[in-house]
């Protein structure tokens, strides 16, 4: 790995300066009804309101900004089920470089359409049959482009860490010190970045990764003390969180920094999406609702606590969202 060092709090602050004026400083939402229902003070970091509809733009913009000028012309390559794709595509557009994105054929239509709308070139792959890493390595070799990994990269982790940095700053601005923060987790970049930022900003805040049942690679790796291969499991509704394994660098951070992992099922995810619709008026995609699902299920006792919940993205097809609202 080219950049195997663990990002520092300074790297995250530097990332915040890099993305300033390009990324949205998303609001921290609060619902008196949810506070009452859960018995704690819950603050929601609303990354669906981020440019491209998810936190992924932060890491992508930070990573692409670090590519030397003379290499930018040859473009960037990424693989993604959709949110990293859009983040990279938007960052490439803004920074004036070309993006080639390998996307699974079954990615949500809204994610494919938006990636294309940002001007990226899309190459499709089969989630079951094709080796996406191999596909990307070939694209990198053929075109001399830079590979932008979805999570296992210090600059990506530092970029995602700005979510944690802003959450801490915005919580302090309303007089809150967070007791714990829950983060949706796929490959672990957002969890790692958030944990690193909060370790510096609010050292007593416990950070938990929340993953879909069957794809809880980070939780399982933390419990086992090492990364494990993913056992076969039917797909989760959380298209953004079906990561085949915890990252090497993200696991190194998360094993050290996280208080634990929580796994949530599809029904809990759907209930969380409905709650976000009703109480927060925010469109949250399945994977983006994982952390909210965990506290609604009571996976963690939040009574009397101040809790940060990261809503990580909102790119969901209207048809699926309608089905979730109708509870089918």
Residues 163 and 143: their CA atoms lie apart, in Å, by 33
Contacting residues for 162 by C-beta, under 8 A, at least 6 apart: 12, 15, 16, 19, 23, 58, 62, 193, 197
Q: Which of 31, 54, 56, 236 is catalytic?
A: 56
Q: Is 222 helix (H, G, I), strand (E, B) or coil?
A: helix
CB-nearer residue toward a second copy: 224 or 325: 325
User: Does the protein bind a second copy through residue 281 (CB under 8 A)?
Assistant: yes
User: Does the protein bind a second copy through residue 325 (CB under 8 A)?
Assistant: yes
- Known catalytic residue: 45? no
Binding track over 73-102 against a second copy, x by CB under 8 A:
-----------------x------------
SS (H, E, C) 240-271: HHCCCCCCHHHHHHHHHHCCEEEEECHHHHHH
List binders of a second copy among 207-236 (CB under 8 A).
none
User: Does the protein bind a second copy through residue 33 (CB under 8 A)?
Assistant: yes
Residues 153 and 159: their CA atoms lie apart, in Å, by 10
CB-nearer residue toward a second copy: 119 or 144: 119
Mode of pairing for the β-strands spanning 41-46 and 28-29: antiparallel
Helix (H) or strand (E) holding 117: helix 109-117
- Please answer whether residues 237 and 293 qualify as being in contact, where contact means their C-beta atoms are separated by less than 8 angstroms: no
- Known catalytic residue: 226? no
CB-nearer residue toward a second copy: 110 or 154: 110
CB-nearer residue toward a second copy: 53 or 187: 53
Instruction: Give the residue, chosen from 27, 214, 260, 265, that forms a contact with a second copy under the rule CB under 8 A.
Output: 27
Backbone angles phi, psi at 159, to 5 degrees: -65, -45
CB atoms within 10 A of CB 267: 12
Minimum Å distance from CB 49 to a second copy? 6
Residues marked as catalytic? 56, 312
Positions touching a second copy (CB under 8 A) are 24, 26-27, 29-30, 32-33, 48-49, 51, 53, 90, 110, 114, 117, 274, 277-278, 280-284, 314, 318-319, 321-323, 325-326
């Amino acid at each position: 790995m080219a950049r195997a060092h663990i990002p520092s709090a300074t790297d995250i602050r530097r990332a915040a300066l890099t993305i300033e004026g390009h990324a949205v400083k998303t609001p921290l939402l609060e619902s008196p009804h949810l506070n009452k229902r859960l018995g704690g003070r819950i603050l929601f970091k609303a990354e669906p309101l981020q440019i491209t509809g998810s936190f992924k733009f932060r890491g992508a913009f930070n990573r692409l900004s670090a590519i030397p000028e003379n290499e930018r012309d040859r473009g960037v390559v990424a693989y993604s089920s959709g949110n990293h794709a859009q983040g990279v595509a938007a960052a490439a557009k803004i920074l004036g470089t070309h993006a080639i994105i390998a996307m699974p054929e079954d990615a949500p239509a809204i994610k494919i359409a938006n990636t294309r709308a940002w001007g990226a070139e899309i190459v499709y792959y089969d989630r079951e049959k094709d080796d996406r890493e191999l596909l990307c390595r070939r694209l990198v070799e053929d075109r001399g482009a830079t590979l932008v990994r979805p999570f296992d990269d210090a600059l990506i982790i530092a970029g995602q860490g700005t979510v944690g940095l802003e959450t801490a700053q915005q919580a302090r601005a309303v007089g809150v010190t967070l007791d714990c923060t829950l983060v949706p987790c796929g490959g672990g970049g957002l969890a790692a970045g958030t944990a690193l930022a909060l370790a510096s900003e609010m050292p007593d805040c416990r950070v938990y990764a929340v993953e879909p049942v069957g794809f809880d690679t980070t939780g399982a790796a933390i419990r086992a003390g090492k990364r494990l291969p993913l056992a076969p499991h039917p797909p989760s509704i959380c298209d953004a969180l079906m990561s085949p394994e915890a990252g090497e660098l993200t696991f190194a951070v998360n094993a050290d920094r996280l208080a634990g992992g929580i796994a949530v099922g599809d029904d809990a995810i759907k209930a969380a999406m409905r709650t976000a619709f009703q109480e927060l008026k925010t469109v949250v995609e399945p994977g983006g609702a994982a952390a909210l699902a965990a506290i609604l299920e009571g996976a963690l006792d939040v009574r009397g606590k101040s809790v940060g919940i990261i809503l990580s993205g909102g790119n969901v097809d209207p048809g699926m969202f309608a089905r979730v609202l109708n509870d089918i």
